[in-house]
Structure 1
Amino acid sequence: MSVSDVPPAATTDSNPRESWGSRFGFIMATAGFAVGLGAIWRFPYLVSENGGGAFVLVYIVISVLVGIPLFIAELMLGRRTQKGPILGMRELTRSGNPFRAIGWLGTLSALLIMSYYVVILGFMVGYFVMSLTGTFSAGTTAEQISTTYSAFTANTPAIVAATVGIIAVTGLIISRGLKEGIERSTKFLMPLLLILLIGLTVYSLLQPGAAKGVAWYLTPDFSLITGEVILAALGQAFFAIGIGVATAFIFGSYLDREKSQVPGDSVSIVGVNTLIAILAGLIIFPAIRSYGLTEAEGPGLVFQTMPNVFARIPGGFIVGPVFFLLVLIAGLTSAIGYSEGIAGSLRELTGWSRRRASWATVGAILVLAVPSMLSYGGNGPLSDVIIAGKNLFTWADFISGSILMPLGALLIIVFVALFFGFNRYREEANRGAGAIRVQGWWKPLVVVVIPLAVAVIMVTGLLPQ
């Protein structure tokens, strides 16, 4: 099964393969894909359940030791083959090799993730509009906000309209091309996201009593670092970076094999992703503790707890729309990345034009999103359809996030560690690298620690909750 005799693939398409216009554009597009909604509400929710500063410290350490080498691996494979994950793994393996499943698993996982991800983004559109029109104005009670949430989850036409709008915008961006669509949009959206985050962070830190929230958030209590906390941080770091869903592989395939700096860029991308998660916590926890509120779980943190904050803080009628806009931007940049991973593989398999493959991709996402749109929140027409104890929305989340995504990532790291080989991984990743390079002491991480970590995440995700 050695791949030492497999040469780097050449592009055989009649049209030359697209490439990134700039290193900055590549970093912004890939960081945008990695950030997603999880950095804004999933990370703070996990922090609130797992010891505050203790969880933050473990998360940062794991992002560096596990996340960066794993992200380098997928980018490196894409750059080496100059193809997406399906055809790229065909180049690196012989017929019948089980590692060819990597590309198919990643693409299918991305498709399933997008089937419910766009529905959450549709909710963000709805809440952005409601915050602009004063739904969460001063004096709004917690009961009224809860009623608003229940009413919106039952408003199927509004959910459908907002979700279709998000899908259409995503399709328009990826159909315009790598440089003119994906790179141009994310070069604007990601700096805007960072500006909004920093602005809201400063505002939150100026609230009375904010210091107590910051101290709890950033001061680690080492007695709270348990196996459960480490496992939660491992899972968040892994899923936040976005390995095993075709996108990092295909984004890497657009890189110049001799001039791009995979290790340095990977550090930048994971660094931006971690920074945004930390800033999100600095917005949420000081503000929540300043007004004596309790964090809600998962989506409730965005849709119920934060509107309560905006109804109480000075200038909430401005801060609320800005907050929902930044969450919407984070989700949109991630949706662009997921969709390009799917569309890129479809183009290579069919020979279709970018425009045709892009609209076929978002069309498939729309069809698959229908069950999630009709089952989210427990109030939709299909909310009573249950598969293995889960409604259609949570079932899509479980299959993609707990099975397909970690399985694809596990196959990638096992392939790199045992068949591609650490020496080849190091040599290929360091081609064109600058000051930041894969080092020899990484070998135990790549060959032993990371495969075990990913396997633990997958097994844990399959265990009964």
Structure 2
Amino acid sequence: MKGKKKSRENWGSRLGFIMATAGFSIGLGNIWRFSYVAGHNGGGAFLLIYLLIIAVIGIPIFLAETGLGRKVQTGIITGLRQLTRKGSPWVLFIGWLGILAAGLIMSYYLMIMGWIFAYIFKVGLGTFNGATTEQIAKIYEDLVSNPLAVIGYTLIPTLIIGLIVSRGVKNGIEKFVKISMPILLIMLILLAIYSLSLPGSMDGVVWYLKPDFSVITPKTFLEALGQVFFSLGIGLAGAFTYGSYLDPQNSDLVKDSVWVISFDTTIAFLSGLVIFPALFAFQIAPDSGPGLLFLTIPNILDKMPGGTIFGMMFFILVIIAAITTAVGLIETVSANTAELLNLKRKTSVWLWLGVMFILAIPSILSHGPWAHIELFSKNIFELIDYVSGNILLVLSGLFISLYVVFKWKFQNFQHDINIGATSIKITAISKPVIQFVIPIAILIILVSGLL
């Protein structure tokens, strides 16, 4: 094992880790999924619960998962076997469960990226110029219900992700995100400013920022918790994998994690400020589901000066954000496979991308020929999204919190996480929160939300 640790690739800089991990966290979860989940759960009420869960649960669990990766300097399966034993419940419920969740999410993530590539071409060709809200909705429906077209578009991001991840951490992932993430932030700020200037947009701002406590149910808490884990990459084994590329002695994990989570939360909040004011301006229902982004943005772009150029830039940046997350998901499963089966990085990457591409096909068909197939009142895509995002991620997060309590122990957790920390540290004040509040809260939210 010592030989493996010495050859373990590390991030080239602190900024590289922050941008890459933020890039993994920031993706379609913030721009696409956050908006439609918030739309289904009452806007302001969901936002308030989401922010509270990030502060109380998200930050400590993110630190724990990333800290475990930094501690062992390996992939999650090998690392947890070192810390416990082969076949232990921790390996199963944190490691394998996380990899399963990453694989399921990646299977439909490729499909959504295919939609975005289609929109890059459609915006560039002027398809939405002068289109009414109803016509824009029809264009979206025609696209997603055409499986051959979606499969073709989905092939594009699959190849791009393979080229990036196969180049490694420093030369592939780190270089890619250092440029793309700041540009995405600027673009979202500009779009939010324009969205807020639209007539009727203030109704959307009120709906988004003013909590309506009458709409809160146990399901709201479960979906908010699932969205926090989805957005931050908790329970996907991705935070563990990215943490494993940190210098175990000379990295400020606490401060860097606060930067990552702050960046991630800002992007999600800004996405809401882009989407919801525009929804009310164009009289689109906020609970329109997964197509929310694709219904709203073309309406905005059609009304603004230079909308075609701006629209192409926006969807290109959205696909960049999506790719940074997909890169993390593929890095997670491929790095662990390469470690466990002694495969070359490139072989493992392309093998898994082929598997994910095939697994994407049922989600693609669920919007077309298989739209009539439903389980628990959900089509195939909706079921995969719900199970992976609201059950598997939450279960994995629960077991991470239990690992800290029963296996790592608070004092060891505090010591390990604080290695290299400067101005911000884990203190004894957080002990009751980490030992009692977090695992009990996750369990209550999971059980009550499901029941």
Q: TM-score, normalised by structure 1?
A: 0.89
* CA contact 2:404–2:410 (8 Å) conserved in 1: yes
Tell me, in whole angstroms, the C-alpha distance in 1 between the residues paired with 2:420 and 2:87: 33
Q: CA RMSD in A?
A: 2.4
Structure 1, unaligned runs of 5 or more:
1-9
Match of 2:95 in 1: 103
**C-alpha displacement at 1:55, in angstroms?**
3.3
Tell me, in whole angstroms, the C-alpha distance in 2 between the residues paired with 1:394 and 1:228: 16
**C-alpha displacement at 1:205, in angstroms?**
3.0
Match of 1:128 in 2: 120
**C-alpha displacement at 1:354, in angstroms?**
1.4
Q: Please, which moves more after superposition, 103-112 or 333-342?
A: 103-112
Match of 1:84 in 2: 75
Match of 1:29 in 2: 20
**C-alpha displacement at 1:232, in angstroms?**
4.2
CA gap 1:95/1:337 in 2 versus in 1, 3 angstroms: closer
CA gap 1:32/1:388 in 2 versus in 1, 3 angstroms: same
- AA in 2 matched with 1:34: S
1:368-396 CA distance string (max 9 Å, x none): 22222222x2x13x444445554432333
* CA contact 1:402–1:461 (8 Å) conserved in 2: no
Q: Is 2:53 the partner of 1:62? A: yes
**C-alpha displacement at 1:151, in angstroms?**
1.6
- AA in 2 matched with 1:118: L
1:299-378 aligned at under 5 Å gives the runs 299-375=290-366, 377=367
Alignment partner of 1:170 out of 150, 161, 164: 161
Tell me, in whole angstroms, the C-alpha distance in 2 between the residues paired with 1:260 and 1:415: 23
**C-alpha displacement at 1:313, in angstroms?**
4.3
Q: Please, which moves more after superposition, 418-427 or 440-449?
A: 440-449
Match of 1:18 in 2: 9
CA gap 1:170/1:95 in 2 versus in 1, 3 angstroms: closer
**C-alpha displacement at 1:220, in angstroms?**
4.8
**C-alpha displacement at 1:397, in angstroms?**
2.3
Q: Please, which moves more after superposition, 248-257 or 405-414?
A: 405-414
Q: Is 2:429 the partner of 1:438? A: no
Match of 1:194 in 2: 185
CA gap 1:274/1:176 in 2 versus in 1, 3 angstroms: same
CA gap 1:231/1:409 in 2 versus in 1, 3 angstroms: closer
Tell me, in whole angstroms, the C-alpha distance in 2 between the residues paired with 1:390 and 1:209: 33
**C-alpha displacement at 1:440, in angstroms?**
1.1
Match of 1:158 in 2: 149
* CA contact 1:127–1:324 (8 Å) conserved in 2: yes
**C-alpha displacement at 1:418, in angstroms?**
1.5
Tell me, in whole angstroms, the C-alpha distance in 2 between the residues paired with 1:396 and 1:430: 37
1:335-371 CA distance string (max 9 Å, x none): 0111111111011101222111211121221222222
- AA in 2 matched with 1:63: I
Tell me, in whole angstroms, the C-alpha distance in 2 between the residues paired with 1:123 and 1:100: 35
Tell me, in whole angstroms, the C-alpha distance in 1 between the residues paired with 2:400 and 2:101: 14
Match of 1:3 in 2: none
Tell me, in whole angstroms, the C-alpha distance in 1 between the residues paired with 2:75 and 2:253: 16
Q: Please, which moves more after superposition, 160-169 or 144-153?
A: 144-153
1:33-72 CA distance string (max 9 Å, x none): 1122121133233444544444333322221111000000
Tell me, in whole angstroms, the C-alpha distance in 2 between the residues paired with 1:383 and 1:289: 29
- AA in 1 matched with 2:25: A
Q: Secondary structure at the match of 2:395?
A: helix
Query: Percent of aligned pairs with the same residue?
Result: 46
Tell me, in whole angstroms, the C-alpha distance in 2 between the residues paired with 1:401 and 1:224: 21
- AA in 2 matched with 1:449: V
Alignment partner of 1:280 out of 271, 280, 292: 271
- AA in 1 matched with 2:411: N
Match of 2:397 in 1: 409
* CA contact 1:25–1:187 (8 Å) conserved in 2: yes
CA gap 1:107/1:292 in 2 versus in 1, 3 angstroms: closer
CA gap 1:231/1:95 in 2 versus in 1, 3 angstroms: closer
Q: Is 2:170 the partner of 1:182? A: no
Match of 1:5 in 2: none
**Matched positions, count:** 450
Q: Please, which moves more after superposition, 16-25 or 232-241?
A: 232-241
Tell me, in whole angstroms, the C-alpha distance in 2 between the residues paired with 1:111 and 1:220: 35
**C-alpha displacement at 1:438, in angstroms?**
0.9
Q: Secondary structure at the match of 2:3?
A: coil
Match of 1:256 in 2: 247
CA gap 1:37/1:443 in 2 versus in 1, 3 angstroms: same
CA gap 1:226/1:108 in 2 versus in 1, 3 angstroms: closer
- AA in 1 matched with 2:113: L
Match of 1:394 in 2: 382
Structure 2, unaligned runs of 5 or more:
none
- AA in 2 matched with 1:400: S
Alignment partner of 2:35 out of 41, 44, 68: 44
CA gap 1:109/1:53 in 2 versus in 1, 3 angstroms: closer
**C-alpha displacement at 1:15, in angstroms?**
7.1
Q: Secondary structure at the match of 1:432?
A: coil
Q: Is 2:109 the partner of 1:117? A: yes
* CA contact 1:296–1:304 (8 Å) conserved in 2: no
1:168-217 CA distance string (max 9 Å, x none): 11111000010001111111221121121122122223334544543443
